[in-house]
Amino acid sequence: MRATASSFGVHAALIDLDGTLLDTAADIAVAVNAMLVEHGRPPLPEALVRSYIGRGTANLVRRCFGPETAPEGALECFRRHYQQSNGRFARPFPGVVEGLARLREKGLRLACVTNKPEIFVTPLLKLMKLDGWFDYVVCGDTLARCKPDPLPLTHTCEHFGIAPQEALMIGDSMNDVEAARAAGCPVVCVPYGYAEGRQMRAEDCDAIVPTIEAAAWLVAPARPS
């Protein structure tokens, strides 16, 4: 059933990071191109790098080398450069802080569920002054598997002591949708993210919302069980 206003009775919101909370593409592109130049490859346009974001750092690095096998040490090279550019140009998308505040006002617990490694997530959230909003953070290397596997979502629900249907996933790509569907969570998407180069459609998820603030207006906290 397609979502309607105030249709999500949930206890928590699980929110993606890159492309949903923060626009991080410029930081990532700087690191990608420094890595490519160091390995004798030409730099890539930021728009192309943007389309590679979403399924973790290792996948990003592989895709940046096209059909060629990524050279040994390329991932470590990217991480070294990204530690320098992480947060340099990143900014919260419009409506993020307002949306987090609105979700909090409705009594929801908040989790950031991302495929980005913890070494980048912790300083980035702190730098963007978003760290204080989250009760729990699951990174790409927190568990054995990351999105689109449902494990990060089911793990977070277990941490909160709720059923998956009581947690709303908010993301920007099919990566988030597939994880939510497999976990049994309702899912809404923002249209401004990366989505691995494809545009999200209304039929892909329970709703397309212009901002996280708009997503919060669709939430009516579930009654205590």
Catalytic residues: 16
Tokens at residue 82, please?
């990204």
Contacts for 76 with CB less than 8 Å, ≥ 6 apart: none
Give the type of residue at 177: V
Calpha distance 138→155 (Å, rounded): 9
Contacts within 8 Å (CB) and 24+ apart, 161-167: 162/11, 162/12, 165/10, 166/9, 166/10, 166/11, 166/12, 166/222, 167/10, 167/11, 167/12, 167/13, 167/14
Instruction: Give the number of residues written for the chain.
Output: 225
The rounded distance, in Å, linking the Cα atoms of 169 and 138 is 13
User: Which residue carries 């709703």 as its tokens?
Assistant: 207
110 membership: H or E segment, kind and range: strand 109-113
**How far is residue 191 from each of residues 26, 45, 52, 169, 198, measured CA to CA in Å?**
18, 21, 16, 14, 10
